[in-house]
Amino acid sequence: MRELDDRTIRQIAAGEVVERPASAVKELVENSLDADADRISVAVDAGGTQGIRVRDDGVGMDRESAERAIEEHTTSKIDGIDDLEAGVGTLGFRGEALHTIGAVSRLTIRTKPRARSAGDSGENRETRGGASGTEIRVEGGDVTAVGAAGCPEGTVVEVEDLFFNTPARKKFLKTTATEFDHVNTVVTHYALANPDVAISLEHDGREVFATEGRGSLQSAVLSVYGREVAESMIEVEYDPADEADPPTETGSAVGAESDSTDGTGTVEGVRGLVSHPETTRSTREYLSTFVNGRYVTDGVLREAVLDAYGGQLAGDRYPFAVLFVDVPADTVDVNAHPRKMEIRYDNESGVRAAVTDAVRTALLDEGLIRSTAPRG
């Protein structure tokens, strides 16, 4: 029995947060979204194993904030546990991503505060860093340079040689193609969840996709999945407040087997797009589900979508879906693990039934599935 040294402890902890290039990309894109960016461009080399660059036009940081940002457990997003319990409006809050990525790579941050933002008076502008930007370099956890840098407003984070100092973890990386698939999946989901932000992805210098950021989910789907898929998409729009009748045994699915007394609080809304039953792929990975705005790989929701198609899907074929499900924040646990995208519901069967109902209604309206007797 022996005590692990600090370095080993830190590197084990780092592996919990940053498992592969895609996990670093996820953290950096979340930071850009939290920074209120309108444009985010992600560029990776060799699937992200050699280089990752995330550039945004968000609020940026002054020198002091940038230096604090790479320290352990520093965040500008919450003050303490009270804020956490009140519910966090930002994607990040643990304050560990930049520190962790810096511990296992060569990290460069170039950042400059936005000169002016809504509700900002001239006074604040002075204290937020003036005209020049800041560049910080970190190598394997050591800050190797801090200085002034000319750069546009916003933030660029570059990650080179991920895991250069943790060979054991580096060995776990898969092929460039597989690592890029993971990166692509992550960036795609943020692009779909944030159609009002222009998000682009580049791999080895070639553009993979670029959304326009004009706010329509349809146009984000077109940019990400192409015309054939975009044109086959059917709108799903379900708002329990619009339901004329209170839930009955065979009618609205909301509240089915609900624990709550009135049963109506289970799902607040289901909206998004699902594909024509003949526009399918051979994997489930194009069934993208978001709960309260967060991407989740949730078997429950995926099954709920598939159920709605009834027998209309060919064997082993799966439709496209980009579905946003809103539930009361206190009825889900999304805090499971920073890396996992799992979720637990207080009323799983109620959520599932509501989603199936919403998707089935949309498909029925388009005449794409046959009406069947409501399931009892």
Q: Which is nearer to ligand ADP, 142 or 316 (CB)?
A: 142
In the bound complex, which residue of the shown chain has the CB atom lying closest to ligand ADP? 92
Rounded distance between C-alpha atoms, residue 355 and residue 361, angstroms: 10
Q: Which is nearer to ligand ADP, 39 or 281 (CB)?
A: 39
Q: Which is nearer to ligand ADP, 19 or 348 (CB)?
A: 19
Taking the complex as a whole, the smallest distance from the CB of residue 100 to ligand ADP amounts, in Å, to 7
**Tokens representing residue 255 in the block:** 């509240």
Nearest to 136 by CA among 69, 50, 56: 69
Helix (H, G, I), strand (E, B) or coil at 133: strand
Helix (H) or strand (E) holding 348: helix 348-365
Which of ligand ADP, Mg ion, none is residue 77 near (CB under 5 to 8 Å by kind)? ligand ADP
Options 43, 61, 187, 270; binder of ligand ADP; rule CB under 6 A:
61
Taking the complex as a whole, the smallest distance from the CB of residue 20 to Mg ion amounts, in Å, to 17
**Tokens representing residue 83 in the block:** 């804020």
Paired strand residues for 235? 273
Q: Which is nearer to Mg ion, 54 or 256 (CB)?
A: 54
Cα–Cα separations (whole angstroms), residue 19 to 69, 100, 137: 21, 11, 21
Q: Which is nearer to ligand ADP, 43 or 353 (CB)?
A: 43
**Look-up of token digits 């039953």:** 277
> Could you tell me how many residues of this chain bind ligand ADP (CB under 6 A)?
23
Candidates 41-49, 53-61, 199-207, 247-255: pick the segment binding ligand ADP (CB under 6 A): 53-61
117 binds ligand ADP (CB under 6 A): no
Options 11, 23, 31, 176; binder of Mg ion; rule CB under 5 A:
31
Which of ligand ADP, Mg ion, none is residue 361 near (CB under 5 to 8 Å by kind)? none
CA 19-22-28 angle, to 5 degrees, is 105
Measured from the Cβ of residue 144, the count of other Cβ atoms closer than 10 Å reads: 12
97 binds Mg ion (CB under 5 A): yes
Which of ligand ADP, Mg ion, none is residue 96 near (CB under 5 to 8 Å by kind)? ligand ADP
Rounded distance between C-alpha atoms, residue 69 and residue 53, angstroms: 17
Options 48, 51, 58, 92; binder of Mg ion; rule CB under 5 A:
92
Residues 64-103 that bind ligand ADP (CB under 6 A): 69, 74-77, 92-99
Q: Which is nearer to ligand ADP, 114 or 169 (CB)?
A: 114
Q: Which is nearer to ligand ADP, 96 or 179 (CB)?
A: 96
Which of Mg ion, ligand ADP, none is residue 45 near (CB under 5 to 8 Å by kind)? none
Sequential DSSP letters for 93-125: -SS-HHHHHHHTSEEEEEEE--S--TT--HHHH
Residues 20-39 that bind ligand ADP (CB under 6 A): 27, 31-32, 35
Rounded distance between C-alpha atoms, residue 185 and residue 31, angstroms: 17
Tell me the HSE value of 73 on the side-chain side, using a 13 A CA sphere: 4
105 binds ligand ADP (CB under 6 A): no
Which of Mg ion, ligand ADP, none is residue 339 near (CB under 5 to 8 Å by kind)? none
Paired strand residues for 143? 138
Sequential DSSP letters for 150-210: ---SEEEEEEESTTTT-HHHHHT---HHHHHHHHHHHHHHHHHH-TTSEEEEEETTEEEEE
Helix (H) or strand (E) holding 64: helix 63-69
Contact string 150-189 vs ligand ADP (x = CB under 6 A): -----x----------------------------------
Which of Mg ion, ligand ADP, none is residue 305 near (CB under 5 to 8 Å by kind)? none
> What is the contact surface with Mg ion in residues (CB under 5 A)?
31, 92, 97
Site for ligand ADP, rule CB under 6 A: 27, 31-32, 35, 56, 58-61, 69, 74-77, 92-99, 155
